[in-house]
Structures are given as structure tokens and as C-alpha cells.
């Protein structure tokens, strides 16, 4: 049964349950929603994240989790991660999608969803991990070290930053006239397409299992 979404045209909406973790604008969440993928809940670690409004506009349940409320009361990051896992688990996800989630998750979270946590990163495998991937790629281009960058979607088995078994990649050429802004725009468009296609594939595969 499809739990959320539902477009009237385009590919069939796969069944399944996705919980999407966000921290910011949520353009990738929007791509999942617009594709009619079955997002059942959105969890943000920032109350102001615009992604929460996008979720609400699609009648998707939202949750806000606060690391500060944990550390202010003497609890640890692992305690927080265990709490986030509880919040996510309550929505019974088939996959947890990290779409612009800016908090490094420990095993207190990851061990609860083995092979079920999917991350999106705006760089190719083994290149430019971390929050400044696009700036780092653009700098590398200007220094003549690369001519293209890209996007990857990968599983998150452990606490490694932006690495883990790769599910899909796409390269994005860097054009001579590019600014950081124009490159960013092109990479984001590639992210939206790759994330939707990869998550759709995961759900289709899940359903096809005996
Ligand atoms: C994306 O570039 C994603 O790859 C990175 O953070 C950005 C989030 O963008 N981890 P948005 O919130 O989906 O618009």
C-alpha cells in the first residue's frame, strides 16, 4: 500500500515507507515528494528548516529533534542519536534517507537500521567529503586538478563521513564559464534526479524480494 504521495502521471508509485532526515532547504525532499515516492515522515534537527514546510504542504508528518536539548541536560550525542532512532523507528521505515541532514550519526542510530540508511552527497566517491564539497570541487577545478565533479548516493554503514557502499553516481562537468553558483545549481539538479531514481530502485527491489 502506498502511504503518501501519489502522482497522476509518470511511473507507478512504489509501495514502501521512507523517512527523510533533513536540516535545511529540503529541495531533495521536494524532489522525492514531487516524484510521488512514499515519504511517511520528515525529521529535522533544525526547527527553522524550510524542509518542514515542504513536508507539511504534502501532509507528511514532521518531527523536530534537538541535539542541544540533550547536551544541555548532560546527555551525550549517542543518547541523542538513540532518541532520533526511536523517533524514526516509530514510523517503521523501509529506508531512511539523509537528504541534507547535517549531523554525523553514530552507531547508536545506524545499528538500528542496517543496510537501510541512504545518504546523498554532492561529490563523487572518494572526493571532497564534508559540508563544503561544492566549494572544494570548485577550488580544485580552478587549480586545474579536476574537470568534472558529480553526485553520489550511498549506504551509511558506519560513522565514516560521506563514504559507504555506493548505490549510484552521476558526473557533472564543470564548464569554463561556471561560477560556484552555476555549478551548485547544476549539481543540485543532478542530485534531485539521482536521488529519486536510486530510491525508487531500492523500493522496487525491496518489493520484488520473495
Ligand atoms: C545537498 O547538496 C546534499 O547533497 C547535501 O546538502 C544539500 C541539501 O540540499 N548533503 P537540500 O536541503 O536538499 O536542498
Check which CATH number belongs to the domain holding 60 and give it.
Answer: 3.40.50.170
The C-alpha cell that represents 99 in the structure block:
537528504
In a domain, 79, yes or no: yes
Evaluate whether residue 175 is within a structural domain.
no
| Count of the separate structural domains present in the chain | 1
Query: Which residue range(s) make up the domain with 58?
Result: 15-120+152-169+192-208
**Does residue 60 lie within any of the structural domains?**
yes
What is the tens place of the pLDDT at every residue in 93-151? 999 999 999 999 999 999 999 999 999 999 999 999 999 999 999 999 999 999 999 99
Report CA(133)–ligand 1 centroid distance (Å).
11
CA of 110 to the centre of ligand 1 (A): 20
Domain-embedded: residue 30: yes
Predicted TM-score of the model (pTM): 0.92
Task: Look at residue 100 and tell me if it is in a domain.
Answer: yes
Catalytic residues: 121
- CA terminus-to-terminus distance, the chain: 17
Model confidence over 35-75: pLDDT tens digits?
999 999 999 999 999 999 999 999 999 999 999 999 999 99
Q: Does residue 144 lie within any of the structural domains? A: no
Residue 199 lies in a domain: yes
The position carrying cell 510521488 is 36
Do the domain assignments include residue 104? yes
Query: Shortest CA distance to 43 belongs to which of 31, 55, 34?
Result: 55
Closest-CA residue, ligand 1 atom 1, reads 100
Amino acid at each position: 500500500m502506498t502511504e503518501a504521495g501519489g502522482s497522476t502521471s509518470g511511473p507507478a508509485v512504489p509501495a514502501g515507507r521512507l523517512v527523510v532526515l533533513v536540516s535545511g532547504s529540503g529541495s531533495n525532499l521536494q524532489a522525492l515528494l514531487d516524484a510521488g515516492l512514499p515519504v511517511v515522515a520528515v525529521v529535522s534537527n533544525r526547527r527553522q528548516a524550510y524542509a518542514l514546510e515542504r513536508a507539511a504542504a504534502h501532509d507528511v508528518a514532521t518531527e523536530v529533534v534537538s541535539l542541544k536539548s540533550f547536551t544541555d541536560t548532560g546527555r551525550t550525542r549517542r543518547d541523542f542519536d538513540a532518541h532520533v532512532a526511536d523517533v524514526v523507528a516509530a514510523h517503521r521505515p523501509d529506508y531512511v534517507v539523509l537528504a541534507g541532514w547535517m549531523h554525523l550519526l553514530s552507531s547508536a542510530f545506524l545499528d538500528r537500521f542496517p543496510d537501510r540508511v541512504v545518504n546523498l552527497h554532492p561529490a563523487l566517491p572518494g572526493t571532497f567529503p564534508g559540508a563544503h564539497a561544492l566549494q572544494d570541487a570548485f577550488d580544485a577545478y580552478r587549480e586545474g586538478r579536476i574537470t568534472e565533479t558529480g553526485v553520489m548516493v550511498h549506504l551509511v554503514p558506519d560513522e565514516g563521513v560521506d563514504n559507504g557502499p555506493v548505490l549510484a553516481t552521476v558526473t557533472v562537468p564543470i564548464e569554463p564559464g561556471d561560477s560556484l553558483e552555476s555549478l551548485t545549481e547544476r549539481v543540485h539538479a543532478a542530485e534531485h534526479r539521482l536521488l529519486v531514481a536510486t530510491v525508487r530502485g531500492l523500493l522496487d527491489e525491496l518489493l520484488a524480494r520473495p
